[in-house]
Amino acid sequence: MLDAFIGGLLLVFQWESFLYLLIGATIGFGVGILPGLGGGETLALMMPFIYKMTPEQGLPFLLGMHSVVATTGDITSILFGIPGESTTVATIVDGYPMAKKGEAGRALGASLMSSLIGALIGAGFLAVSIPIVRPLVLAFGSPEMFMVIILGLTCISTLSGHGKRGLLRGLLAGGFGFLCSMVGQDRQAGILRFSFDSLYLMNGLPMVPVMLGLFALPEIIDLSVQETSIARSLPQGKVSKGVREGVKDTFRHFWLTVRCSIIGSFIGIMPGLGGSVAQWVSYAHAKQSAKTLEEREGFGKGDIRGVLGPGAANNSKEGANLIPTVAFGIPGSVGMAILLGAFFLLGLVPGPDMLTKHLTLTFSMVWTIVVANIIVVAVSLLFINRIANLTMIRGNLLIPFILLLCLIGSYTASKHMGDLIVMLVSGGVGYLMVRFNWPRPPFILGFILGPLAETYLYAAMARYKAAWLFRPKVIVILILAIAAAVYPFVQEKRLARKEARNEAMG
Amino acid sequence: MRQWGSISMGLAMMVITAWMVITALDWPFRAALFPVVIGISVFLMASTDVLISFLGRKEASLQQSSIDFQLTKDVEREVATSRTLWTVFWIFVFFLLILLLGFQLSIPIFFILFLKIKGREGWGISIGLAVLAWVSFYGLFVLILDTVFIEGWIQQGLKALGVVG
């Protein structure tokens, strides 16, 4: 085992492998920054290039690219309030307000450093967990997977609004996301649902235009309303000053970063859940780490912990995501499904062979994630001042570029003008949600996980009828979901009582 | 105090979910299960939200803010509304240009129009940024990624009429 571990490292540093890793990481760097151009899509676009490559060249190229996308995706989320990737939406919640306050450098420093720590922990997780993870993944059937999704949605709904009304609106938004995910051809019966006989809507609402519209258009409108730069009228030097502070913040909240990385890793190994869930659960965890009511209310307004949590989880889930893909051939995400296809193109068959015959190659994947992330974080930190200064550019100069990125990013979803209409309509919905205080994160989580939730629910009903509700693991997850919904209120009351007592004592 | 915006949002949600559930009732069990289960739940929650907004309960007005991006509040309401409408107008202008002329032509035209009229920038910056945007678009998406961009309605119409080849 140790030989394979060291062999993997040496394999990555063979000049050809290393060169391909560098090319992949460079592409991933750009893809992460560009909104709408996702890691999965780029993996697919790069597939034709690997036909003539050996596994030692092809895997560093693809994995080097895929593993750094979330790292640089955070940069766009923080600077422009646009998700660079679907997995970096949560970073906007606190990262973008920080950029607006002139703390873009600090947020970027924290995000990059937590991403690196997350990537290292995720890679470590991959290395140590391969032999022990199989029983855990196989123990979860459709009912449990459905309940895990409900748990994720409850967590984010609870934490995306203040008070009981916030919880209600969070769940409402999540349910609305579920409903929107039903547009198109039904997978169970083949019936066209809510598609208005449109050929375009047969495949459902494309995820990228929905996300770009929902998250980017309200921000573009707001930037235009302000008629200033993203960092408004703060002095020029202030934006880039905090980078070191951001890096220090990561170590100041080191255990939070580690915990969020572990959360990301655990979610990463669950097939189908991936980064979209990991970022929000870790955000929720970061928020729960607030010790006072005042601290908690600072989330969403630029709390550094809201950047550290998702930043770490986004990257740690990459390594963990590889576990079911490599070990069982079960892709954990869209990107992993495409990577699975690449395995076959390179002549590799996921399964026991990857843990015996190709163990060195499997460990080289661990090292690829580590090395690619170290390089990209180092390069980003080197140029972070220049990147952060983008927030000082006048809004009027930025708006057409951001709008162009949104429109092209949307169009690349299915190369259809309908993508642009979906983006504009989603933008309208997103604006109304922001305007009337409906949280958007639960909506997007419901929208992403809707098809999966439906499949699991139907499979559970078809196999167990209503009895699936009484399975012990389902009951345990249900109790966890209820606890997740109730806990913030209990915690809030306890904190309020504690503060009142402190005030009374003087 | 009643919150008419919130009430409208809740009512819209109720109408949409009611329509979805009624439509789904005609489908076979397999296809209807999820929309009906989720639709009814969302309808009930939306009704509760409307009721709370309608009654204008204290909690509703004080604690309804979501932990999400907040629109800027330091610009006068009338000014903010006017700027919002203008931005929406410009977004639609870009969309219409793409629809009529395709991406390749509409990018430089929109950049120059937006920067000159809305941004009140000089010709140098307007043309320079338009060229930069077009070169970046063409280099990355057309040359490198080989993305197929469909032509605008005008080009398609001209081709159909045989005016251009």
Q: Count, in order, helices (H) and strands (E) of chain B.
A: 6, 0
Calculate the CA A112 to chain-centre distance: 14
**In this predicted structure, what is the pLDDT of residue B62?**
44
Residues in chain B with CB shorter than 8 Å from the CB of A458 are 30, 33-34
Nearest CA in chain A to B47: A172
**In this predicted structure, what is the pLDDT of residue B69?**
66
Nearest CA in chain B to A213: B91
| Chain A CB within 8 Å of residue B1 CB | no
Residue pairs between chains A and B whose CB atoms are closer than 8 Å: 212
Calculate the CA A354 to chain-centre distance: 27
**In this predicted structure, what is the pLDDT of residue A236?**
47
| Chain A CB within 8 Å of residue B39 CB | yes
Q: Report the gap between the CA of A230 and the closest CA in chain B (Å).
A: 12
CA distance A46 to A59: 12
**In this predicted structure, what is the pLDDT of residue A180?**
93
Nearest in space to A98 (alpha carbons), one of A380, A302, A251, A276: A302
**Residue A303: C-alpha distances to residues A50, A83, A177, A286 (Å):** 42, 18, 27, 10
What are the tokens at A101?
């306050």
Q: Report the gap between the CA of A158 and the closest CA in chain B (Å).
A: 10
Asked if A96's CB is within 8 angstroms of B67's CB, the reply is no
**In this predicted structure, what is the pLDDT of residue A271?**
58
CA distance A44 to A306: 32
Q: Transcribe A117-136 into DSSP letters.
A: HHHHHHHHHHHHHHHHHHHH
CB neighbours (10 Å) of residue A383?
9
CA distance A249 to A251: 5
With a CB cutoff of 8 Å and minimum separation 6, the contacts of B132 are: none
**B contact residues 78-117, partner A, Cβ 8 Å cutoff:** 79-80, 83-84, 86-88, 91-92, 94-95, 98-99, 103, 107, 110-111, 114-115
Q: What is the pLDDT of residues B59-85, one digit of tens each?
A: 544 445 555 667 777 788 888 899 999
CA distance A4 to A361: 8
Asked if B94's CB is within 8 angstroms of A407's CB, the reply is yes
Asked if B133's CB is within 8 angstroms of A404's CB, the reply is yes
CB neighbours (10 Å) of residue B22?
11
B109-120: average pLDDT: 92
CA distance A270 to A330: 10
CA distance A277 to A288: 17
User: Is the distance from CB of A96 to CB of A82 less than 8 angstroms?
Assistant: no
Spell out the per-residue pLDDT of chain A, length 506, in tens.
Answer: 677 778 888 888 888 889 999 998 888 887 777 665 566 666 766 776 776 788 888 888 988 888 887 777 788 788 777 766 667 778 888 888 888 787 888 888 888 888 888 888 888 887 777 667 656 656 778 888 788 778 777 876 776 666 677 788 888 998 999 999 999 988 777 889 998 888 889 888 987 788 888 878 888 888 888 877 655 555 445 555 677 888 888 888 889 889 988 888 888 776 555 666 778 888 888 888 777 777 777 777 888 888 888 888 888 887 777 777 777 666 666 677 677 777 877 888 776 677 777 888 888 888 888 888 888 888 888 877 676 666 667 778 888 988 888 888 888 778 889 999 999 999 999 999 988 888 887 888 788 778 888 888 888 988 888 888 999 989 998 998 888 788 777 767 776 777 777 777 65
Does B22 score more than 80 pLDDT? Answer: yes
Residues in chain A with CB shorter than 8 Å from the CB of B129 are 397, 400-401
User: Is the distance from CB of A438 to CB of B65 less than 8 angstroms?
Assistant: no
CA distance A90 to A98: 13
| Chain A CB within 8 Å of residue B43 CB | no
Preferred mutation among B7, B33, B38 to probe A, highest tally of A CBs within 10 A: B38
Query: Residue A24: how many CA atoms within 13 Å on its side-chain side?
Result: 30
